[in-house]
Every structure is written in C-alpha cells, then in structure tokens.
C-alpha cells in the first residue's frame, strides 16, 4: 500500500474575485521509502498539494478527489482522527523558516510542543528527545535554548526538519526546503534529507522549482503546470530527455556549467506562468510553447504514455491516454 | 592586478566596515571592470558582495581604499548625483524596489526627472519600457506594480535603469526571486544591453550558472575578500582555489565533479579567522594535506591576497602559490 | 482602465492616478454601511450647528429675556426640550452649544495634529540629535498629567474657548508625533527608498515622493479619530467648570445641570439632550474615522 496516493485531486480556492482552480485533477503516488519530486513554478499548485495532504487549506476551499494517507481518506476523517494523524503519519517542512517558526519562543520549546501534543511523554522525556532530534539534524543540542533569529538560515531549516521528524512520520513533505539558502548550505540540507530518509525509511515528497536539485534527490519526478501534472517518470529520464516542452524549458533554465551550448546563451520562456484564475482555452502551455500547433489552443491534452513508466501531456507524444 | 587602460570602474584596496570596525564586510578588495564587460561576483551570504556594489554607488562609506568610476573618484557630495546617473543598480527584490503607490510610468520617469534628462518624458519612458521587452509600452504606463508579474516588475526596473543610459549596471541577484522559466529571458535582456549599448555589468549572485550564462569574468568572494578571479571558462572549468572547487562541486547543475560539502555554517564577518580566512573550512587543511605539503602553517598564520600580480586568472591560496 | 496611448505628460499620469485612488477610497467607504451612517449623522449635526441662527434666536439665551418663561418645564410644544433652572430653552442651548462643542473639537484637533505632525515629521526626517531633542520634548509632554495642567492653564490664562483649545492641543500632540515619526522611519527603510537614492535622489525628493505619500493617509486617519477625543475632552473640562462661562457648550450644559440638581431632581430634559448629543457625535465620527483608517493606513491594508 502506498504511503500517499492522490486520486484525481482538485482544489479550488474561494476568493473575492471568484473561484480559483489551483489544482485540476492530479494523480500521484508515493511508495514507502521512495522520494518523489514535484517540480513547477509559482501558481502551478504544488504548494497547494502540500497543504491539501494534511487538510491545511483555508476554510471554504473546495476539495474533490481522494487524498489517501496509508489507505485512509484524509477528507473523510473525523477531526479527532485528523489531529492524531497530522504530524505522526505525515509532516511538512515549510518554505521560509523564519516565517514558520514562532519568533518569540525558543526553538527547543517549539519542537517539544509537537512531541507533547502527540504522545503521553513527560516534559523531561520530551526535552531529551528534542536534544536527540537536533543532534540528528546536525545542530548541537545546546541550541535548543536559542530563538529563531539567533540561528543562521541553514540552522533554521534544520530546525524545521527536526520539527517535522518529531513524531516519526512515514511521509515527509518538503516544500521548497532549500530555495532561500546558499548553495553550500543547500547541499548540506539535501545531504541531510537523503541520510535521514535512508535511515528512517521515510517517504519523501520534494517540492521545488529547481529541476536540477530533484535529479539527484529523487527517484521519480512529476512536473506541474497550471494545476496539472504535465510529465512524470524516473527523474533521470525526465531530466535527460524531457518529453513535454515545459519540462524541456525548465531543464534548460539552469544551465549545466561547462556546457558550451549555454555559454553566453541564456534561454528561457517568453511570457509568464499562467494565472490560475484566467487559464486560456486548450493547452494552458500553448501561449508559451515553441512547438505549439493549431489544435493546441482548443484541445487540452491529458497525460499519455511516453515510454516505460513515463507519461507526458503533449499533443506531440504518441501514446495511449493514461 | 590586471591594469586596464580605461576601466569603467576601478576599486583599489577597498575596505568597508560596520559596527565601528568590528565587522569587516569588505576586507581589501581590488577589482577593475572594462567597458562592455560582464563580471559575476559570486559568493555566499555574508561574503560582502552586496556591500561591495553598494559602496560603488555610494550607499556605503569606505573605511579605506578608493573607488573611481570612469576616472572620477566616488565620494560624498555633489559628484554623487552625477555618479548615480552613470552607475545604476538593479535590486534583488523587484516587488520591494517599486513604490506600490506609483504607476509604472512614474517609476521609470523618476530617474529622468531627478537628472533632468532632456526630451519628451512620456516618449522616453515608453521607449525604455519597449527596449526592456514590455510591449506595447502604452499598455503598461498606467499600471501599478501589483498588477504585474515578478518578471515584468524586474523589466520595469531594468527599463528605469537603462533609461538613464548608464555605463555601469550593478545587478544584485537579478533573477533570484523570479520563476525559473523566465530567468533566461531576463538574463538575455541584460546581455543584449551589453551588446547594443556597451554597458558594463557587475552581477552579484550565488548562482554560478548565471555566471556561466552571461559573465566574461568571475570573481569569487569569501569573507570580504576576492579569493579567485579570472575568465569564466577558466574559473568555472578549472578552478584553482579550494573554496571555488567546493562551491562548484555542490552545484546541482554540474557534472563530473565529486561533491565536497564543506562543514560548518557560512562564516561570520565579525570573526574573520587568522591566516588564510578559509583555512578552518578548507579540505586541504582538514585532511592534513596542507601540512604534508609543507604550507599548513602558512594557511593558519599568513593572510594573503590575489596572486600573481599580473595575469588574468588569479588565486589567493597558499597551495597554489607554493605549487 | 488601460488606455492604450502615450500620455501628454507625466503630470497627466499623476493626476489620473490620484483621481483613481480617490475614487477607490470613496468606493470602499460606500460599501461600509456603518461608516456611511457615521458620516450621515455627522453631516446632520454639522448642518444643525450651522443652522442654529435660523432655528433659534440667540438672544433668547440671555438672562434678560427669560423673565416670563417657566422654570424647569418639561418638554412641550413651545419648548421642545423644556427649560432649565433659569427658564432658558434647552433646545436653544442645545443648538448653540453644538456649535461650541464641534468648533472646539475641530480646532483642538487641528492644533494637536498640526504640532504633532510638525514634530514627528521633523524628527523622522532629520534623525540624529534633532530627533533626540524632539523626542525628549515629546516624552516630557507625554508625561505631564493632563488634568492638573488643564486646571493650571485655565486658572492662569483667561477662561475662554481658545484656552480650552490650547489646553487640549498642547496635551494631546505627543501621541500623534510618535506615530508619525515611527511611520516616517519605517518608510525611509523601504527598498524603494534605497532605489530612489541610488537613482540620485536627495533627501527632499525622498520625503516628497516616497515618505510623505505614505504618511499623509495616516495623518488624515488619525485626525479623524482625534476629533471625538477632543470633543470629549472639551466636555470634560466644561463639566469641571473650566470652560468658557459666556459660551455654553454641551459640557457646560451638563455642568449646569449638575450644579442645579437637575440630575437628582429628575429633570432629565436638562442633561439627556446634551449627553446624547455627545454620544451620537462621538460615535458617528469614530465609525467614520475607523473605516477611513482601515482604508488609508498602509499597515492595515493587505496588498
């Protein structure tokens, strides 16, 4: 049984300007011990998915489809069961550690809070556990008494990881965990995630806009655009030979250093990521696509098989629908 | 130091300090940029790269050293206004850099008004926006920053900067806060201005891929000092300084290099180590190789600057100096 | 909204923007029912105050003309609000008193905001020792206890309207000054101010184009909210007997009612009208001011 399974997930926000469909029919599976990457840019819906898994979406948001955590439908759970499941079955490492941590409480206390909420341990035992967690993520246990602003960016991110691990979840969702960090600290955090995942046997859903980070960190990769998955497959294959023009652009966005093709030749896509409240008809990528044909502006293509264990939603892919 | 005949900007032994000398943000930096050249200034947080470019435009006072732009020294006083026409800055956060109450027109016209640039203002503004890729320009004039995307806002800032016809652009992480797919467009735009207007660019970034994309030369900074500088191909394909090597090894977009993840946090400019400032984190020192090859003591005790004095690819490292 | 043509000049764009922004403020206000209610009530009272000479003869308030009026007469068709201990029409006093209360409230607020803005903006603009000196001055005025100062000033200066205005203005400006200074300092830290400086802008340009537009809405909002406080303060002072003996405000009416045992004597028509008048006016301005603050205060707006 998969740790996480999204079945035709649709999420529509209610805003003053009308309903905004952020996620439009996503199917995704994460098996135990597996790392799955979700790549996409602003407005594609990937952070919405992270919040949707633990029912953290704002009130009034419409959710349809199924979110199965260990086989259980999250949206059919009673509030009591949901509270028990949150953080113990799945936990999120959010982006922007400075905003996610309470600035007026010590970091040790914040992790303790998570532990105490979900177990019957005494505060003393919890404090010991917190020390162990901090050491595990590479922070000296003495730092538990520090406030978030006294730590560096990399340390704060590690605190968030420790916080997420506090209840031993089977699934860790990391939403842009390294985006604001320096490249060396990013490498340290990625190595830490890899190590933890190996040791704990956790499943990891890694959400980011940097495709190249995912290549090394994940086994499987899904690329999102305008609320849908437009390509899926093993990360090496997707990065080496993208089938969807958007994946190709994303892969080319960060050049391979040393590659003469990208030397003095920055390539990107014209236009901007689409506004989820005003999607064009047909394929939402068509306005920016270099290989768009006439049908693309009227026909919205669904995911098609594009090889063994691969799929892409493009009219140029010859394959049966998934 | 490469002595150019007519550099656009020349920094000589520049030092910038904060907190009454406690924090040595820029600790003796010398650099020159030629006309039409793009130099990428790379390094991690706290290395002083942003402080360095802020001092070029006079936003930070110098503790020591001197900066000249087109031959004229950068100081305080009357010359500063003229300087701030020839040198323009592009900020990292395009949303924060635009006053939310001003229309796009006013954002671009602001510089023109300050410097009393001659010409029909609306036409100048429209032309600047069009040159930055916002077409048709008329459609953007009355809009506000919050109605534009991140990429569009950055184009507005670039348009506003280029409208003053500068000779030097200082770009502080120009694409870091933008979506990956439009990164290339903005970089291509900046590169195009080099080709058409002959403007020089100093791009501050932690993204080595950006340097590969648009820079002629790369200067690597660590704790307030340049530790390696040279043509992009040389520095990024054959780095000589252990820090540059480590940085390159962990970039996800590199191939063929084994990852060298440095231990410890990015260092604190208020506590610069003695000797070579990189030695506490240097793999050569940590592994003992520096001692085996005989210069370990120098690493721990002797501070050093870029060598050789003349030549295009320079490194500040005892390992390199001692062969 | 998006005109597709090159404007005639930069000024045209700026005026377009200002007009649009005013329109949007009005639009937001229109949607807030309570704010509209407050505005209407306020306008009503202002109208009444202006119309006082038309509705009642001021001479009817002087002692000479009330010989034959019944004393302490409850409301009737002849005297809508009844009469007081001297036979004066309470309704007439109410109308004429409203002019005093509103006038003093407005003038005192203007004085307070005027001094506060000057101090706050100057301190924020110059910084350094100017800021330090001005802030110590502000602290000093902040700690002076209000009532003793009012009593002392009223005793030392001639009792009159302008004394009251002075007293209120002089004791209330510190909070405005601090608020504005903080807003100026915040505005100066913004990245777009850095950008303006890097474009070559001097301090005056920065203040004019970037700081003041950020700060003036706050001045407007805090002015509106200071009016009810000033009115209440004036009422308090008059109630304590420090007001102008020749020009009776609503507070003065309350004072007279207390002094002449109207409250204990059950003569509600002598103190209810002025009391309710104060409540309604203060409530009206507060509702309107609160809505205005929500629209204009950049901190409360969620852009």
User: Is C58 part of any domain?
Assistant: no
In tens, the pLDDT along A125-170 reads 999 999 999 988 888 888 899 999 888 888 888 899 999 988 889 9
Instruction: Write down the pLDDT at residue B19.
Output: 86
The parent domain of residue C155 ranges over 20-53+90-296
Residue C83 lies in a domain: no
**Does the pLDDT value for residue B93 go beyond 50?**
yes
What is the mean predicted confidence (pLDDT) over B196-205?
Answer: 94
- Residues across chain C: 303
The residue to which tokens 């506000």 are assigned: B144
Interface test with B, best of C22, C24, C25, C192 (most B CBs within 10 A): C192
Length of chain A: 322
Q: What is the mean pLDDT of residues B152-171?
A: 94
SS3 C272: helix
Token output for B255:
């191939």
CA pair distance C180, A159, nearest whole angstrom:
38
For chain C, the average pLDDT equals 83
Chain B residues near residue A265 by CB distance under 8 angstroms = 213
Quote the tokens at residue B249: 């090894």
Whether the CB of B165 is below 8 Å from some CB of chain C: the reply is no
**Chain B neighbors (3+ CB pairs < 8 Å):** A, C
Judge whether residue C299 has pLDDT over 60: no
Question: Which of the two residues, B40 and B137, has the higher pLDDT score?
Answer: B40
The CB-based long-range contact list for B56-59 (8 Å cut-off, 24+ gap) reads: B56/B9, B56/B11, B56/B87, B56/B168, B56/B170, B56/B202, B57/B83, B57/B84, B57/B87, B57/B89, B57/B170, B57/C198, B58/B83, B58/B84, B59/C194, B59/C197, B59/C198
- Give the Cα separation of C165 and C103 in Å (integer): 9
Phi-psi category of residue B46: left, alpha or beta, with phi > 0 → left and psi -120 to 50 → alpha = left
- Tell which wins on pLDDT, C160 or B121: B121
Q: Is some CB atom of chain C closer than 8 A to the CB atom of B135? A: no
**CA-based nearest distance B278→chain C, Å:** 32
Chain B residues whose CB is inside 8 A of the C191 CB are: 91, 93, 96-97
Mapped onto helix, strand or coil, the DSSP state of residue A113 is helix
Residue C63 pLDDT class (50, 70, 90 cuts): low
Measured in degrees and rounded to the nearest 5, phi and psi for residue C190 equal -65, 150
Residue C279, phi then psi, degrees to nearest 5: -55, -50
CA dihedral B284, B288, B290, B294 (to 10 degrees): -170
pLDDT band at residue C265, thresholds of 50, 70 and 90? confident
Give the sheet arrangement for strand B72-73, strand by strand.
B23-33, B9-18, B64-69, B72-73
- Report CA-CA distances (Å) from B51 to A103, B30, B57, B158: 27, 14, 10, 20
Average pLDDT rounded to a whole number, residues B275-288? 87
Q: How far is A128 from chain B (nearest CA, A)?
A: 24
pLDDT band at A319 (very low <50, low <70, confident <90, very high): confident
Would the CB atoms of C192 and B97 count as touching at under 8 Å?
A: yes
State how far the Cα of B221 lies from the Cα of B203, in Å rounded to an integer.
Answer: 13
Is C148 contained in some domain? yes
Cβ-contact A262, A256 below 8 angstroms: yes
| Residue B180 with chain A: CB contacts under 8 Å | 41, 209-211, 250, 253-254
Q: What is the mean pLDDT of chain B?
A: 88
Both tokens of B30, joined, read: 């010398």
| Nearest chain C CA: its distance from B105 CA (Å) | 7
Question: pLDDT tens digits, residue range A276-286?
Answer: 888 888 899 99
Which residues in chain B touch residue C192, judged by CB atoms under 8 angstroms apart?
A: 96-99
Average pLDDT, chain A: 89
Comparing A45-54, B133-142, B298-307, which segment has the lowest mean pLDDT? B298-307
Contact in structure between C282 and C228 (CB atoms under 8 Å): yes
Q: CA gyration radius for chain B? A: 21
User: Does the residue C249 lie in any domain?
Assistant: yes
Q: Kindly report the pTM of this predicted structure.
A: 0.84
Q: Provide the pLDDT confidence category of residue C129 given band limits of 50, 70 and 90.
A: very high
Q: Is residue C191 part of a domain?
A: yes
User: Domain residue spans in chain A?
Assistant: 4-89+169-312
Higher pLDDT, A97 or B242: B242
CB atoms within 10 A of CB A70: 16
Q: What is the pLDDT of residue C95?
A: 87
Nearest chain A residue to B237, by CA:
A258
Sorting pLDDT into bands at 50, 70 and 90, what band is B1? very low
More confident residue, A167 or A180: A167
Domain B9-321 matching CATH 3.20.20.70: the answer reads: no
Residue B219 CB contacts under 8 Å (≥ 6 apart), including other chains: B31, B39, B40, B41, B42, B226, B228, B229
pLDDT digits (tens, 9 = 90+) for B68-87: 998 888 876 667 888 888 99
Of B226, B313, B268, nearest in space to B41 by CA? B226
Residue C214 and residue B143: Cβ atoms within 8 Å?
no
By Cβ distance, the residue of C4, C7, C213 closest to B122 is: C7
Angle ∠(C159,C163,C169) on CA atoms, nearest 5: 155
Fold of A4-89+169-312: Rossmann fold (3.40.50)
Give the number of beta-carbon pairs within 8 Å between A and B: 129
Candidate from C17, C194, C198 with C-beta closest to B103 = C17
The alpha carbon of residue A210 is apart from the nearest alpha carbon of chain B, in Å, by 7
Put simply, the answer to whether C198 touches B88 (Cβ < 8 Å) is yes
C203-258 tens-digit pLDDT:
889 988 899 888 888 888 888 888 888 888 888 888 888 877 777 888 888 888 88
A and C touch per CB criterion (3+ pairs under 8 A): no
Which of B78, B141, B146, B158 to mutate: most C Cβ within 10 Å? B141
- B309: confidence class by pLDDT, cuts 50, 70, 90: low
Is C300 a residue whose pLDDT tops 60?
no
Mutation target to probe the A interface, by most A beta carbons within 10 A, among B252, B255, B280 is B252
The confidence band for B33, taking pLDDT boundaries of 50, 70 and 90, is: very high
Specify the DSSP element, H or E, that contains A233.
strand A228-234
In chain B, residues 42-71 whose CB comes closer than 8 Å to chain A: 44-45
Question: Considering only CB atoms, which chain A residues are within 8 Å of B247?
Answer: 183-184
Give CA torsion, residues C54, C56, C58, C59, to 10 deg: 120
What is the DSSP pairing of strand B168-172 with strand B87-90?
A: parallel
Mean pLDDT of C55-81: 73
Residue B115's CB is within 10 A of a number of other CB atoms, namely 16
Q: What is the mean pLDDT of residues C85-93?
A: 82
Give CA–CA dist B271/C257, Å, rounded: 74
Nearest-Cα residue of chain B relative to residue A249: B181
- What are residue B259's DSSP bridge partners? none
User: How many Cβ atoms sit within 10 Å of the Cβ of residue C237?
Assistant: 26
Residue A268, pLDDT score? 85
CB spacing of B138 vs C192 below 8 angstroms: no
Rounded distance, CA B271 to CA B269, Å?
Answer: 5
Q: Is the dihedral of CA A213, A217, A219, A221 positive or negative?
A: negative
Percent of chain A with pLDDT over 90: 40
Q: C167 versus C115: which is more confidently predicted?
A: C115
Structure tokens at A171: 């699934």
User: Coil, strand, or helix at residue C134?
Assistant: helix
Of B169, B171, B303, nearest in space to B225 by CA:
B303
What is the model's pLDDT at position C113? 92
B139 touching C (Cβ < 8 Å): yes
Nearest to A223 by CA among A183, A215, A92: A215
Q: Which of A289, A254, A246 is nearest to A44 (CA)?
A: A246
Q: Could you write out the DSSP letters of every residue in B91-126?
A: -S-TTTTS-TTS-HHHHHHHHHHHTT--S-HHHHHH
Q: What is the mean pLDDT of residues B179-187?
A: 88
Confidence of residue C303 (pLDDT cuts 50, 70, 90): very low
Q: Which residues contact A146 (CB under 8 A, 6 or more apart)?
A: A106, A107
Least confident span in B56-60, B88-92, B184-188, C6-10 = C6-10
pLDDT tens digits, one per residue of B112-148 = 999 999 999 999 999 999 999 998 888 898 888 988 8
- Residue B202: beta bridge partners? B39, B170
> pLDDT band for position B262 (50/70/90)?
confident
The domain tally of chain C equals 1
If you measure CA to CA, which chain B residue comes closest to C14?
A: B106
Query: How much is the pLDDT for C13?
Result: 78
Chain C residues with CB-CB distance to B106 below 8 A: 10, 13-14, 17
**Taking 50 as the threshold, does the pLDDT of residue B172 lie above it?**
yes
Q: Residue A142, SS3?
A: helix
Which of C174 and C11 is assigned the larger pLDDT? C174
Q: Is the pLDDT of residue B264 over 90?
A: no
Backbone angles phi, psi at A116, to 5 degrees: -65, -30
Domain ranges of chain B: 9-321
In tens, the pLDDT along A199-245 reads 888 999 999 888 888 888 889 999 999 999 999 999 889 988 999 99
Q: What is the pLDDT of residue C34?
A: 86
The Cα A211–Cα B138 span in angstroms is: 36
Half-sphere exposure of B104 (CA within 13 A, CB side): 31
* Closest chain B residue to C213, measured at CA: B101
Report whether pLDDT(A30) > 70. yes
Q: Within an 8 Å CB–CB cutoff, is residue B57 touching chain C?
A: yes
Locate A247 and state its tokens.
């994946």
What is the ipTM, given to two decimal places? Answer: 0.84
């Amino acid at each position: 049984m998969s740790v996480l399974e999204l079945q035709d997930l649709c999420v529509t926000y209610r805003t003053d300007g009308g309903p905004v469909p952020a996620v439009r029919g996503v199917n995704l599976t994460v098996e135990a011990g597996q790392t799955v990457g979700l790549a996409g840019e602003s407005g594609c819906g990937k952070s919405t998915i992270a919040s949707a898994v633990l029912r953290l979406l704002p009130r009034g948001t419409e959710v349809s489809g199924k979110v199965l955590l260990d086989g259980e439908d999250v949206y059919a759970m009673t509030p009591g069961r949901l509270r028990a499941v949150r953080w113990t079955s799945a936990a999120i490492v959010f982006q922007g550690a400075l905003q996610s941590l309470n600035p007026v409480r010590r970091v040790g206390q914040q992790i303790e809070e998570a532990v105490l909420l979900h177990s019957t341990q005494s505060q003393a035992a919890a404090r010991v556990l917190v020390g162990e967690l901090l050491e595990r993520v590479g922070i000296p246990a003495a730092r538990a008494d520090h406030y978030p602003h006294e730590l560096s960016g990399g340390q704060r991110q590690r605190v968030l990881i420790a916080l997420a691990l506090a209840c031993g979840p089977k699934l860790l969702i990391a939403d842009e965990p390294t985006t604001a960090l320096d490249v060396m600290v990013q490498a340290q955090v990625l190595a830490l995630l890899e190590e933890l995942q190996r040791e704990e046997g956790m499943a990891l859903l890694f959400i980011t806009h940097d495709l190249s980070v995912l290549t090394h960190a994940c086994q499987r990769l899904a690329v999102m655009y305008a609320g849908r998955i437009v390509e899926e497959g093993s990360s090496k294959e997707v990065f080496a030979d993208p089938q969807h023009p958007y994946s190709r652009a994303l892969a080319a966005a960060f050049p391979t250093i040393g590659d003469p093709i990208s030397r003095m030749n920055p390539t990107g896509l014209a236009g901007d990521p689409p506004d989820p409240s005003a999607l064009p008809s047909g394929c939402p990528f068509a306005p920016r696509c270099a290989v768009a044909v006439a049908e693309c502006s009227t026909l919205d293509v669904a995911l098609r098989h594009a090889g063994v264990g691969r799929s892409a939603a493009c009219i140029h892919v010859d394959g049966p629908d998934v | 130091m490469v002595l150019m005949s007519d550099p656009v900007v020349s920094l000589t032994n520049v030092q910038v300090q904060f907190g009454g000398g406690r924090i040595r943000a820029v600790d003796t930096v010398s650099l020159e940029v030629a006309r039409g050249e793009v130099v990428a200034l790379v390094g991690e947080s706290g290395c002083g790269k942003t402080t360095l470019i802020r001092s070029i435009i006079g936003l930070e006072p110098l503790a020591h050293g001197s900066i000249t732009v087109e031959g004229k020294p950068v100081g305080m006083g009357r010359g500063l206004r003229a300087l701030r026409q020839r040198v323009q800055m592009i900020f990292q956060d395009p949303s924060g850099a635009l006053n939310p109450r001003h229309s796009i027109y006013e954002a671009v016209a602001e510089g023109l008004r300050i410097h009393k640039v001659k010409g029909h203002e609306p036409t100048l503004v429209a032309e600047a926006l069009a040159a930055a890729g916002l077409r048709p320009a008329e459609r953007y004039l009355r809009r506000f920053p919050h109605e534009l995307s991140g990429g569009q806002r950055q184009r507005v800032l670039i348009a506003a900067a280029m409208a003053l016809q500068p000779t030097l652009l200082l770009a502080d992480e120009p694409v870091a806060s933008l979506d990956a797919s439009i990164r290339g467009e903005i970089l291509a735009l900046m590169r195009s201005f080099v080709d058409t207007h002959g403007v020089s660019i100093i791009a501050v970034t932690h993204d080595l891929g950006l340097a590969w994309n648009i820079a002629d030369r790369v200067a690597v900074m660590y704790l307030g000092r340049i530790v390696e500088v040279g043509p992009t191909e040389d520095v990024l394909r054959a780095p000589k300084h252990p820090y540059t090597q480590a940085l390159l090894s962990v970039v996800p977009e590199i191939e063929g290099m084994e990852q060298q993840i440095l231990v410890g946090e990015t260092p604190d400019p208020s506590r610069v180590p003695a000797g070579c400032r990189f030695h506490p984190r240097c793999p050569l020192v940590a592994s003992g190789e520096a001692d085996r090859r005989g210069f370990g003591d120098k690493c721990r005790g002797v501070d050093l600057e870029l060598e050789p004095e003349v030549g295009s690819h320079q490194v500040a490292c005892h390992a390199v100096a001692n062969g | 909204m998006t005109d597709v043509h090159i404007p005639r000049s930069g000024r045209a764009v700026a005026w377009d923007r200002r007009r649009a922004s005013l329109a949007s403020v009005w639009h937001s206000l229109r949607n807030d029912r309570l704010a509209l209610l407050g505005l209407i009530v306020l306008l009503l009272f202002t109208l009444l105050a202006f119309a006082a000479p038309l509705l009642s003869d001021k001479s009817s308030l002087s002692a000479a003309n009330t010989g034959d009026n019944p004393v302490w007469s409850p409301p009737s068709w002849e005297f809508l609000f009844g009469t007081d201990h001297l036979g004066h029409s309470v309704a007439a006093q109410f109308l004429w008193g409203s002019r005093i209360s509103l006038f003093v409230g407005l003038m005192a607020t203007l004085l307070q905001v005027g001094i506060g803005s000057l101090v706050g903006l100057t301190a924020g603009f110059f910084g350094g020792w100017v800021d330090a000196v001005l802030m110590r001055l502000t602290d000093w005025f902040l700690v002076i206890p209000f009532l003793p100062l009012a009593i002392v000033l009223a005793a030392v200066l001639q009792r009159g309207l302008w004394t009251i205005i002075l007293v209120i203005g002089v004791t209330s400006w510190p909070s405005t000054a601090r608020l504005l200074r903080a807003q100026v300092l915040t505005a100066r830290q913004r990245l777009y101010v850095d950008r303006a400086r890097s474009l070559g802008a001097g301090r005056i340009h920065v203040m004019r184009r970037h700081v003041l537009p950020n700060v003036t809405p706050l001045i407007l909002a805090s002015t509106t909210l200071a009016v009810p406080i000033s009115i209440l303060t004036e009422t308090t002072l008059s109630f304590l007997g420090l007001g102008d003996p020749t020009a009776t405000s609503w507070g003065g009416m309350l004072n007279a009612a207390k002094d002449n045992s109207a409250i204990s004597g059950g003569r509600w028509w002598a103190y209810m009208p002025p009391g309710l008048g104060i409540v309604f006016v203060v409530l009206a301005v507060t509702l309107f001011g609160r809505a205005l603050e929500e629209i204009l205060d950049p901190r409360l707006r969620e852009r």
